Amino acid sequence: MTDLALACTPDLGALRAAAQAVLPGLSVAVERVDAVAPSGPAPAADVWLGVVERAPETGFPCGVCVGVRLAPEHDLEDWLRDFGEALSRALEARVLVGDTRVGPTPSPYWCLVWDAGVPHLGDDSETDPAEGPPGPVRLVRRLDLPEHDRVALAARVLRGVGG
């Protein structure tokens, strides 16, 4: 499982540039990986993004594994939510965040989909290839998200400790 999924397939340089634009002052490493976890040692970067190919039928053909270390007072789910929103704006594309806290029930199929900075409740129950041919992520409705930690993304990251 990836942390984020993109509705576009940017080249690695474009993804790195977008990430650096929303994470000023941090080093960002981006690489293509064959699985959802890096096979070698973590790069010496503040943020690591591992790009994984996903089924194009889902509408989100690019998966992104995120390696980041946050200061203890910050929540990873909130950081990923905000990073997904920022990437959606920077790439001008939909970004799926696997944040199941946004759904009305505790189902693992609920997700957050950012579309030009607007949050939507998504249903990815049709995307599991183990259950048959994958289908698209369905947008259920627009979301009104509760307030959470809005400290700048880069300020929440522990620098110089690798992804």
- List, for residues 98-146, the tens digit of each pLDDT value: 877 888 888 888 999 999 889 999 999 888 766 777 889 999 999 998 7
Q: Does residue 162 lie in a domain region?
A: no
Contact 97, 80 (CB under 8 A): yes
Reading the block at residue 90, the tokens are: 């920077």
Query: Which is more confidently placed, 161 or 156?
Result: 156
Which domain covers residue 16, as residue numbers? 4-156
- The mean pLDDT of 76-105, rounded to a whole number, is 92
Q: Does residue 73 lie in a domain region?
A: yes
Q: Does residue 163 lie in a domain region?
A: no
- The mean pLDDT of 22-41, rounded to a whole number, is 79
DSSP state of 150: -
38 pLDDT more than 60:
no
For the chain, percent of residues with pLDDT exceeding 70: 90
- The mean pLDDT of 88-101, rounded to a whole number, is 91
- The 3-class SS string of 43-71 reads CCCCEEEEEEECCHHHCCCEEEEEEECEC
42 pLDDT more than 70:
no
Q: Does residue 137 lie in a domain region?
A: yes
Q: Does residue 75 lie in a domain region?
A: yes
Split into its structural domains, the chain has a count of: 1
- How far apart CA 98 and CA 81 sit, in angstroms, is 9
Q: Does residue 101 lie in a domain region?
A: yes
40 pLDDT more than 70:
no
- Tokens 């944040």 belong to which residue? 99
Q: Does residue 59 lie in a domain region?
A: yes
Q: Does residue 27 lie in a domain region?
A: yes
77 pLDDT more than 70:
yes
The confidence band for 41, taking pLDDT boundaries of 50, 70 and 90, is very low
| Residues 6+ positions from 123 with CB-CB distance below 8 Å | 109, 110, 111, 137, 138, 140
